[in-house]
């Protein structure tokens, strides 16, 4: 039901734009690539077709490479061919590994490899806090690479099972009967949070009445009088 999806607020738009800007900046690590980005989120099928065509043409650097496998779709920030092997790079506006990032890349790896493109390695491209800019920006020092293939390889069977469950849920016309909880706001706030929480009175946290040591207060006041 896309019509009940929450509208993006200004803070979300700024957050997403920063991520997009960092991703585009990271392309300078692998210059002269071809861009497979769709014109909008409704044209990813064209992006998938363009990616396949670029690979068949012998292109070795593809930005926003898109792949599809059994109804699952993903787009990778940077796809690079070195020799006869392919390497994936997903860019994050962050400085360290986080579980959501690893899960994102695990899904990408599942789709890409099952779509027929073997990856020799796949990495997160993060901002390097050790870099201190002096003069012109040095892109090679601004970013660092974290290979996470060893993290995501054991997750592939789990991804496959989750994909089956999610596709089954999408085919169902009934709304999932799941109580609201921390999963609604972590690691990100769900796009349907307002719709699901409508009519639910959120309880204020009970901090209990604070303990007041009246004797200590009186003793302190007596000392300063």
Cα–Cα distance, 221 to 1 (Å, whole number): 63
How much of the chain exceeds pLDDT 90, in percent?
Answer: 60
How much of the chain exceeds pLDDT 70, in percent?
Answer: 78
- Cα dihedral sign for 26, 28, 32, 37? positive
pTM of the entire structure? 0.78
pLDDT at 196: 77
pLDDT at 1: 54
DSSP string across 203-217: PPP---PPP--HHHH
What 3-state DSSP class applies to 65?
Answer: strand
pLDDT in tens, 59-68: 999 999 999 9
> What integer is the mean pLDDT of 107-122?
98
């Amino acid at each position: 039901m896309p019509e009940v999806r929450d509208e993006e607020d200004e803070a979300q738009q700024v957050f997403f734009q920063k991520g997009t800007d960092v991703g585009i900046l990271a392309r300078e690590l692998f210059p002269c690539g071809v861009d497979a980005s769709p014109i909008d989120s409704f044209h990813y099928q064209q992006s998938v077709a363009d990616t396949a065509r670029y690979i068949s043409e012998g292109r070795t650097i593809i930005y926003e490479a898109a792949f599809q496998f059994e109804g699952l779709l993903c787009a990778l920030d940077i796809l690079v061919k070195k020799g006869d092997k392919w390497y994936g790079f997903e860019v994050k506006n962050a400085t360290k590994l986080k579980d959501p990032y690893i899960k994102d890349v695990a899904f990408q790896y599942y789709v890409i490899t099952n779509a027929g493109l073997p990856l020799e390695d796949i990495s997160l491209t993060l901002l390097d806090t050790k870099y201190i800019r002096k003069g012109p920006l040095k892109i090679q020092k601004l970013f660092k690479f974290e290979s996470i293939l060893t993290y995501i390889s054991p997750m592939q069977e789990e991804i496959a099972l989750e994909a089956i469950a999610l596709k089954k849920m999408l085919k169902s016309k009934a709304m999932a009967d799941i109580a609201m909880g921390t999963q609604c706001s972590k690691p990100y706030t769900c796009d349907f949070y307002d719709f699901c929480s409508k009519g639910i009175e959120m309880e204020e946290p009970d901090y209990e009445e604070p303990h007041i040591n009246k004797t200590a207060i009186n003793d302190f006041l007596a000392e300063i009088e």
